[in-house]
Every structure is written in structure tokens, then in C-alpha cells.
Amino acid sequence: METQTQTIKKETKVTTEKMTGAEAVIRCLLAEGVDLVYGYPGGAIMPVYDELYKYQDQLHHVLTRHEQGATHAAQGYARTSGKVGVAIATSGPGATNFVTGIADAQIDSTPMVCITGQVGSHLLGSDAFQETDIIGISTPITKWNHQVTKAEDIPTILAKAFYIARSGRPGPVLIDITKDAQFGELDFVYEKCKGVRSYKPVPETDPKSVVEAAKLIENAKKPMIVFGQGIILGEAEEELKNFIEKSGIPSAWTILGLSALPTAHPLNVGMVGMHGNYGPNKLTNECDLLLAIGMRFDDRVTGNLETYAKQAKVVHFEIDPAEVNKNVFADVAVMGNVKNTLAQILPLIKPNTYDSWVQEFRDYDKIEYDKVIKEELHPSKEGLSMGEVLRGINEETKGDAVIVSDVGQHQMIACRYAEFTKSKSNVTSGGLGTMGFALPAAIGAKMGVPEREVVAIIGDGGYQMTIQELGTIFQTRVPVKIVVLNNDFLGMVRQWQQLFFDKRYASTEMVNPDFVTIAKGYHIEAKRITKREDLQGAIKAMIASKEPYFLEVCVEKENNVFPMIPTGASVSDIRLS
């Protein structure tokens, strides 16, 4: 018998719309706040492109000239905007051309969702035209991947893809959608993903570890911080700055950590690693406490692990448990997002200064300046140096520009000498070291922060790996500034051949085309500089331009980048010549 107190359950009616899987893909992107995608059409993804055509007033598509360019552009966009980059391609070669960019994004923790078309599900495994097992190929280089064969699965899978790509330690996700799933119909409803069973993106912070870390800081006489991209990804720049200034600890950075702390900060002591600064490399093996914050102890940072910071206690602030004790043993691991963990430790430390310890870094700076930097920035020889080009760019941009660098000598010069006042200003291929990264990445970087100046620093070798993306610049008129430092060599390999292979320059000398004529063929203003007296005026004209601009600077052919830690050597064995 019913009573007056009977509980009546009200059902919430979910409104659905009937649509194709292809349209559902577009609607999912819009629901995730995506307004810009990079890609290249083809047969297996054509249904999605047909729907994209209908939504072009809401979702802007940038046609790159190669699928690899689409992934790098999506990376550049993600790195400057802080959003998830999106790239779309067809099956087979379209999908496999994504592989380099996906691998690059994986090792550099860049949030990216890649969508590929696939042959019809009834053809899977039959070696159909343009069928490739992109799921099998991309499994080792994605944070997650999934193949969709039914239209009704598209909303759930794409919601999960965006959640996984951006949460915790970010990374690339690939979703492969069969053609019949794109043509199929579903009752569309979209709910953002808020969690995935068995996936815990941010580990819990043990309060004891924070206390233990604070005690080690209190007892340290020569503490040193090395911070990485985890600061930028965790949006912890202010927390890092507060921590550094209260603790008084000298702080060095990895390549991907560059710009998280202003270059001119008095406790910024420079870059660690193979071509890093003299002081922070040398003093890594003299500090008594090493605070690793949002970095993963890459081999280019540590050199020989057998001799790396063995005298020091190590505190590792890290979001990814897989990185703790992987390369360097941590006496204390403080797990969690560094934005939160740095805020937690700040009240536990006392204001301090380490004047004599900081002075040791500055003494090494003086040695490095006299033996390396002075000649690089103010060369006495007739030929132009890469460093003086960066000096000229600094003077014109006042440290406010985004610098996108490719891979090689010019990359190391850019990271060593570029000056930054804002975070998310250094975009480069770190872990994978992808030549050809910079040109398409600069396109995405500029679209991510259209109000900022974006300057690509590229070598003559890497430039030609993705030179076709000049066509993307021509079509979009995105006003990126391109600087090619041309030494007619694959410079970094040549440097190693000079130092370790008795100057046997095997297959490293380049016979280059007329880069200026090529740029002008794409209707991009272009200039070539060979003399020092013309350099600053050319840089000034480039930065002042509101249009895309190409500047080729012919630099010394056999200049080397120093300091340098030879492969397998200790960080203490860093060479100045």
C-alpha cells in the first residue's frame, strides 16, 4: 500500500540528436572548446572533412602541406596556448606521417589529440588500400590510443581522449575511426570525461614527504634547484618563484624548463646539460642537496649517471611515479602537481640566503663569459656568429618574444642566449630531437598566442625537412618570423665529427638552394645577410613587419657550441673548448 511519504524518483531526460559519426566528431571537438585543428584530408577521413566544411565558421581548419607538419603545428599551439592541440589525417601514409610528431609529443609531455581515418571495419586486417595498423604502430608512443568501429562510441571515446591528453602528465592520444563508423548514425549526446577507472593522473602527496624535504632544505649548506617543464605544464611559475626567493636557493633549468623563471632573475644560474652553462654543471657535483622540480633526469642533463650528484641528497618533486628512481635515486620523493606541492612546502621553509654559494656560480659565469660567451656574442672574427644573431633578436624583442627552435647547434645557441620575461616562450623539440620541428611548430605557436611575436630559429638542414610548410604560411598569412642560420653544414653532427672523428665530415656538408628565392616564391618577404653591418637593421625590419618574414643569416661554417659535455662523461668534465 502506498503512503504519503513515498519517495518519487524523477528521471532526468537526456536530449539527444540523430547524426552521423562524422558530424559527432566535429560536435565533440566543439564541446571540448576546440576552435582550431591542423590536418590533411584523404579518403578514409573524408566524411569528417565533409562535416568540417559545414562547421567552418565555428572550427577553423589549417591545411598543412604534410601530416607531420600538422602534428608539429598542433604541438606548437599546445605549448604556447596551454590547450590541447588537435591534428587530423587519413589512414595509411596519412596516419604513419603522424608518427614523428606523436613520438615528439609523448617524450615532451605535450597534450595532443590525433584523429585518423581508417578503412571500413569489414576490411580491417585484409591489407586494404591505405590500411595500416596505426593502433599497433602508435601504442608505444601515445599516452592512450583506441580504434572506433561503431558510430555510437565516438562521443565517449573522444571525451576520454581529451581527458587523458590534458590530465596529469600530459601527452598525445590517437583515435582511429573506421569509415563505416563515420558514416553510421547515432543518438548524439556529449558528456565531458571526469575520470577513468584505474587511471589516477595526479598521485596523492604524502605530507611526511613535504616535511622531510623541508628538513633537508633547512640543513643544507649548498642546495641547488634544477627545474623542468613540469613547472610550465603545472602552471606553477608563481609558486616556483616564491619558493626560490624565500629559500634563496640558486636555480638552474633544463631546456624545456627555460622561460618558467625570467632569464634575468638574480637566482637564475643558467642551463644544465650537455651544452648548458659552466657553473650549474660543475656545481651539480658539489651541491649537498639537489632539488629536482618537474624534471625527469634526462641523460643529456645527467651525463654519466655513475658520477652524477653522488655527494648530494636528492629531493624529487614529480607528478609521474614512473620517473621517480628511474635514473637518479631520490632520498625524498614529493609526489603531486608541483603547483600544489611547492605551495605546501613554502610555509615550512625559513627565509634564507646562500651568498657565498651563489657567488660560486657567478665565479664560473665569469670564466665562461671570458672563454666562450664574449666571443660568441661579440665576435672578433669577420664571420657572423649564431650568438650575435640571438643577441640582436633580444635587443629588438626585449625578451618578450616566443622563440621556436629546431634541433642542432642553433637550438643550443637559442636556448643558451635567448632572453625571456614570460613563461611558455621557449618551444623546441627536447626529448626526441626532431629536425624539421620548428617551422610548422612556429605556425601553431603563433596561432596559440597571436598577440605575441614568434621567431623561429632554424638550421639550414632542419629547415629543408619541412620547408613545404612555407605553403601553409602563404595560405594562412600567419605572421611568423623565420631565421635560418646557414652554415652549409649539419652543424651539430659536424661538430662531433671535428672533435671525436678527426674531422672526417662524412655526409654533413650541405649544398643548399637559394632560400630567399624559395621564400619569395611563396610571396614571403625575404632577405639574406652576410655582413655584420647589415645584421641589426635586418632583424629590426623583420620584427617590425606585420607579415610573415624570412631572414637567412650566413654564419661561420665551422663554429662550435661550447661548453660541452662529451657523451658518457661526467657533468664535471664539461669542456669550454
* Cell triple for 60: 577553423
229 Ramachandran zone, left/alpha/beta (phi>0; psi -120 to 50): alpha
In three-state form (DSSP H/G/I as H, E/B as E, the rest C), the secondary structure along 371-383 is HHHHHHHCCCCCC
100 vs 456: CA distance, rounded Å: 20
Contact 290, 284 (CB under 8 A): yes
The catalytic position among 83, 179, 241, 282 is 179
Q: What angle do CA 347, 348, 351 make, to 5 degrees?
A: 80
The catalytic position among 23, 32, 51, 67 is 67
Instruction: Respond yes or no: is residue 130 known to be catalytic.
Output: yes
Pairing of strands 185-188, 223-227: unpaired
Cβ-count burial 269-290 (b if 16+ within 10 Å, e if not): bbbbbbbbbbbbbbbbbebbbb
- In the block, cell 623583420 appears at 542
The catalytic position among 129, 183, 329, 501 is 129
The catalytic position among 335, 412, 492, 542 is 492
- In the block, cell 587530423 appears at 88
For residue 444, what are the β-bridge partners?
none
Instruction: Respond yes or no: is residue 350 known to be catalytic.
Output: no
Q: What is the DSSP letter of 35?
A: -
Among 275, 323, 322, which residue's Cα sits nearest to residue 303?
Answer: 275
Instruction: Respond yes or no: is residue 67 known to be catalytic.
Output: yes
Pairing of strands 17-20, 185-188: antiparallel
State the Cα torsion 442-445-450-456 to the nearest 10°: -30
Helix (H, G, I), strand (E, B) or coil at 46: helix
Instruction: Respond yes or no: is residue 344 known to be catalytic.
Output: no
Helix (H) or strand (E) segment spanning residue 271: strand 268-271
Residues 6+ apart with CB under 8 A from 2: none
The catalytic position among 130, 468, 498, 536 is 130
Instruction: Respond yes or no: is residue 510 known to be catalytic.
Output: no
Which residues participate in catalysis according to the annotation? 67, 129-130, 179, 492
